């Protein structure tokens, strides 16, 4: 299945403002009512325009959804690029900062119900989201390599194993936070993940001899 193409938006200021209004009107409706539960009629009415005008910019509801996702991903990429370029910040800190900001942005617009709805009713868009997520996580892997470059590894471990565990855990944590019903905040999950990954969970046994 082919994802609906992102439409060409005219460059006039009036068009840009209207497109932005459509997007910011549709987003809370999608979040509150789901993708299938929100109709083009509702979006047009809430935006104060005709459905014909809505279709001028977005010929399908899926095209509007895809455009909104692209805007979201663009915001995340720009923010992450800025963090990655801060080479004076330790790699581990940059990883944590990117995780916290990314999940914060997703938390404003994503909900388990909406995600499940997209997976079921717009599978091509869901595939696009998953492909973006995989590419996004690869950026973390670059920072991980930088973080471990000058670190001594425990016996029996190698970089390939560490990268595989880090990537798989990050994928699963992301899936859980996006689709799971949890009261744990995204920053707490990722902070805990990084702490366990780099420091472990067991206290080193004491060398003291019992009396």
Measuring CA to CA, which residue among 29, 15, 49, 147 is closest to residue 94? 147
Please state the rounded mean pLDDT for residues 172-188.
58
pLDDT of the residue at 14: 87
Crossing angle (nearest 10°) for helices 91-109 and 186-199: 150
CB-based contact 132:79 (threshold 8 Å): no
Tens of pLDDT, residue by residue over 1-59, are: 334 445 556 678 888 899 999 999 999 999 889 899 999 999 999 999 999 999 999 99
CB-based contact 94:83 (threshold 8 Å): yes
Give yes or no for residue 171 having a pLDDT over 80. Answer: no
Mean pLDDT (the chain) is 78
pLDDT of the residue at 202: 62
Tens of pLDDT, residue by residue over 70-107, are: 888 888 888 888 888 888 888 878 887 887 777 767 66
CB-based contact 30:38 (threshold 8 Å): yes
**What predicted TM-score, i.e. pTM, was given to this entire model?**
0.76
CA–CA dist 171, 174 (Å, integer): 5
Residue 73 token pair: 């991903």
Please state the rounded mean pLDDT for residues 121-139.
85
pLDDT of the residue at 165: 79
Tens of pLDDT, residue by residue over 137-148, are: 777 778 778 777
N-term to C-term CA, the chain? 71
Q: Is 128 helix (H, G, I), strand (E, B) or coil?
A: helix
């Amino acid at each position: 299945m082919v994802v609906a193409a992102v439409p060409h938006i005219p460059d006039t200021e009036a068009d840009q403002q209207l497109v932005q209004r459509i997007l910011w009107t549709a987003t809370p409706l999608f979040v509150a009512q789901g993708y299938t539960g929100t109709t083009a009629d509702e979006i047009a009415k809430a935006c104060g325009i005709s459905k014909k005008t809505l279709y001028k910019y977005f010929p399908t509801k899926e095209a509007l959804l895809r455009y909104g996702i692209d805007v979201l991903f663009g915001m995340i990429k720009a923010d992450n690029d800025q963090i990655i370029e801060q080479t004076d910040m330790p790699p581990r800190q940059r990883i944590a900062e990117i995780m916290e900001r990314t999940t914060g942005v997703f938390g404003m617009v994503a909900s388990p119900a909406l995600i499940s709805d997209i997976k079921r009713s717009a599978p091509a868009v869901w595939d696009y989201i998953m492909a973006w997520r995989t590419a996004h996580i690869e950026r973390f892997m670059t920072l991980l390599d930088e973080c471990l470059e000058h670190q001594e590894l425990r016996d029996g471990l190698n970089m390939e194993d560490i990268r595989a565990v880090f990537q798989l855990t990050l994928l699963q944590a992301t899936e859980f936070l996006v689709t799971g019903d949890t009261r744990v905040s995204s920053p707490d999950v990722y902070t805990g993940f990084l702490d366990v990954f780099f420091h472990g969970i067991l206290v080193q046994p004491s060398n003291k001899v019992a009396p």
